[in-house]
Structure 1
Amino acid sequence: MAEKGDCLASVYGYDLGGRFVDFQPLGFGVNGLVLSAVDSRARRKVAVKKITLSDARSRKHALREIKIIQRLDHDNIVKVYEVLGPQGTDLQGELFKFSVAYIVQEYMETDLARLLERGTLAEEHAKLFMYQLLRGLKYIHSANVLHRDLKPANIFISTEDLVLKIGDFGLARIVDQHYSHKASQGLSLTLWLISPPPSITATLRKGADRPGAAAVGWRGEGAGGRAA
């Protein structure tokens, strides 16, 4: 199995030395390909996102994503362990010297999109997931970050303990640290369990992720036939 995984890594151009083995395809993020692997040093399964740094624009996007994910640490955010260069070298902030970067992060078994494809979510599961989603969003916004790509495929689930985590910050942005979001926080988060009017969607700034959360919650509710 490990040899097959190593061949797969070669096919996709993964060059991380011998530390990571048994690569398997997971999917594509906004800025790159994602494979699962086993970190032989840490003795754990991880997800490894490969970002190709082909020009100034891709480097700018990669730097922004890395800067954002390194400032986030929360139970409902996919944990990033480290960011590496070719052969598993330490980037040490010198991204411009390399043609590729690898984001090594927590492995999650599935995502909300796949769960919804399987059928109805139980009401108690929908409530639990929506609570964790909003909890994660509250933390992200408190860090002056907007995710900007909130959708079921970017909401990851641990099927063992039903923990939900937000991931893929490829389109995320850091907003003005002096911007006050207290006014938008005044609206109860539970209001976003239903789809907000388009007029509100157009006027929100700090709450820009909440229509996404509402759409996710509404989709789960639609699958179950009851409000999440």
Structure 2
Amino acid sequence: MAEKFESLMNIHGFDLGSRYVDLKALGCGGNGLVFSAVDVDCDKRVAIKKIVLTDPQSVKHALREIKIIRRLDHDNIVKLFEILGPNGSQLTDDVGSLTELNCVYIVQEYMETDLANLLEQGPLLEEHARLFMYQLLRGLKYIHSANVLHRDLKPANLFINTEDLVLKIGDFGLARIMDPHYSHKGHLSEGLVTKWYRSPRLLLSPNNYTKAIDMWAAGCIFAEMLTGKTLFAAVPK
């Protein structure tokens, strides 16, 4: 594992200075590596997501994600600590400076595991499923009240601390702000939400959807917690 992580470090070129130590890989996404590290300033483990900025489109997506997570503050949403540039440099509130950078680091609270890992062991106890579903809906209600669509709800994006059974929604890389007084028909992205959690509305009208797509995904997740199986699994071709 150490050799694999060292290889990933070399590929992705992490440069956060000396503030963060004991780096451990958590996962590798399409735009870089997610890892945990100990912040020596507070002696606390955090999760750090690196977003690689290669073109105007990647900058646009990064700006959108940062704008959204900065406006969200709730017990059932992974907490943002700060946004850093290369060498661990502090970024001001004017994130427009991202256009001059080649990467950005999102530092957030560290969670022990995610729901996907728990479900690999089988279905949850009914009382645990109810507790997690309550927290998921509580966080989702807050997100929607802020006119934000998550657009990628799935067990792997629901993070959990098993000691106190706290669930938090994370990974807002595909999230989007929706103006309730404006029709977004024809201006919304296609191909969002992992297929197993994608609503019929999204399948039939991919450019015209509402907050209901998140609710559909939440329902699929609830069924999976109770049965241990994906409700609408894709059929292998």
Q: TM-score range by the shorter chain?
A: 0.7 to 0.9
Q: How far apart are residue 14 of structure 1 and its match?
A: 1.1
From 176, 189, 214, give the equivalent of 2:179: 176
Partner of residue 64, structure 1: 64
Q: How far apart are residue 10 of structure 1 and its match?
A: 4.7
Measure the CA separation in 1 of the matches of 2:129 and 2:79. 23
Partner of residue 155, structure 1: 158
Report percent identity of matched pairs.
62
Partner of residue 213, structure 1: 218
Secondary structure of 1:125's counterpart equals: helix
TM-score where L is the length of structure 2:
0.80
The superposition leaves residues 15-35 of structure 1 with CA deviations (integer Å, 9 ceiling, x where unpaired) of 000000010010134643200
How do residues 43-192 of structure 1 correspond to structure 2 at under 5 angstroms? 43-92=43-92, 93=95, 94-178=97-181
Letter in 2 for 1:21: V
TM-score where L is the length of structure 1:
0.83
Q: How far apart are residue 6 of structure 1 and its match?
A: 8.1
CA RMSD of aligned residues (A): 2.7
Q: How far apart are residue 208 of structure 1 and its match?
A: 1.9
Question: Residue 64 and residue 204 in structure 1: after superposition, are their counterparts in 2 closer, same or farther (change >3 A)?
Answer: closer
Gapped runs of 5+ residues in structure 1? Answer: 181-194
Higher helix share: 1
Secondary structure of 1:118's counterpart equals: coil
Measure the CA separation in 2 of the matches of 1:23 and 1:175. 36
What is the number of equivalent residue pairs in this alignment? 208
Letter in 2 for 1:214: G
Contact 2:84 2:90 in 1 (8 A): yes
Letter in 2 for 1:174: I
Q: How far apart are residue 199 of structure 1 and its match?
A: 6.0
Secondary structure of 2:24's counterpart equals: strand
The superposition leaves residues 67-89 of structure 1 with CA deviations (integer Å, 9 ceiling, x where unpaired) of 00000000000001000000111
